[in-house]
Structure 1
Amino acid sequence: MKKLLTTLLCLLALAPVPALSAPVLDGAAILQKVDRNLEPESYEMLRKLINIEPDGKKKEFVLYSVKKGRDKIVALFLAPQSDKGRATLRLGDNMWLYIPEVGKPMRITSLQSVTGGVFNNADILRIDYTAEYKVEAAAEEKDQYLLTLKAKTNEVAYDKLKMWVDRKALLPVTIECYAASGMLIKTLRFADIKDFGGGIKRPATIETDSPLYKDYKSVMLYANIKKRSFPDEVFSLNYLPRVEDLRK
């Protein structure tokens, strides 16, 4: 019996110990948290957009924006004077521009730019990433997550995104935007994390450049973000001439 016990103990000692499998990253859950950490589901905000040309010349725009849910957003131009009163509306993949002098909303596309810089309309009228993209892969890289996102439809401005996310803050650090061909269209860099109050703590600065626009750069500065609820009528073509009323 003693000999049998000794033999069993020896066999157990030699048996391989099963490796503990690493926990699988839930990329979809990470992306949802990124969306909510960047912005509440319903809010108003003030932003300044600055387009910088290769010779250093700058053009600035000030926008008042309101958003509801995952895919409804309106932006009103406050400056410069030449653009004051213009308003844009996005409902999912559909976008319009209202110009007071014209008096009728015009269709615009995600790859166009109402400000003429490196930021396109999809960047300026950004809806939740989870509304447009699904997570193809998620990986850990030191103090960051790397999410590979694939567009859900052909209407999305970028076919694929590579998003580096700060693991602690669950906020984007860098996003590379790619066309369906695999070509890099632009890079977005997030910086200057600021506490806006009301539980909103996010980057106050986004910079972008593109290999398609050599030596051009655009910057988006967030001055204010505040939770606020809006009725559905605000996000309609008929309301575009009255967006200014929301600031009163």
Structure 2
Amino acid sequence: MNHLEELRSKKGFICDMDGVIYHGNRLLPGVTEFVDWLHRENKSFLFLTNSSERSPRELQQKLGRMGLDVDESHFYTSALATAAFLANQSPGCTAYVIGAPGLVNALYDVGITMNDVDPDYVIAGETTGYNYETIIKAVGYVQRGARLIATNSDLTGPSEQGIIPACRALVAPIELATGKQAYYVGKPNPLMMRTGLRMLGVHSEEAAMIGDRMDTDIVAGMESGLDTVLVLSGCTSRSDVENYAYRPRHILSGVGDIPPAHV
């Protein structure tokens, strides 16, 4: 059995989204064929994204606008993972949130309320509404005892405008000004991967992780015991792989390389 046949025989697939399925509002080549193949072969699959901006329903609708019909149950985000982590650690806690509606709603759904006086946590995710005032407030809360949580550790992300700053770049000023390190919940944190495998209902050796980043997707898959697939359709080029001490099992130009070509 060659490498690709071995990959195709997996029961479950965990896929990153940005740089794997789409760039901004543009579907990447081969994605429709890949999703059709997942459905046709009755594979378990989950779109697992470190982006915290959108809810699963919004992600479903975003793909729908691009012509892909995927049920809402196939999405899991770092916002949901962060909410689940805090609901378990500190039920009923309060938070100052730097983030988009997807994060705020995920926190509301588990009973975490917003507090801009004396929050238990400062929670940071991706947002366009980020400014110096936000940083000053967050720094003050952390200095007064709030714990710093971040949805994901991505420094940058792909977009239609090119590479843009992501969550870790937004959290860095707060970390530097307070001397406190954030706890990062999303990939490569195994918390998120374990939840993903539970949602798929498969064991790690029966699953593959597909992503465009060595430092989140590939390391997360490798450390969680999944087969790893790096696609070159997002942030990483083939030469970038040489900068890491570990290797993906497969390097493909995009997810369109996974389904067998129809004869």
Please tell me the TM-score bracket, short chain as reference.
under 0.3
TM-score after normalising by structure 2: 0.25
Q: Which has more strand, going by share of residues?
A: 1
Rg (Cα) greater in structure: 1
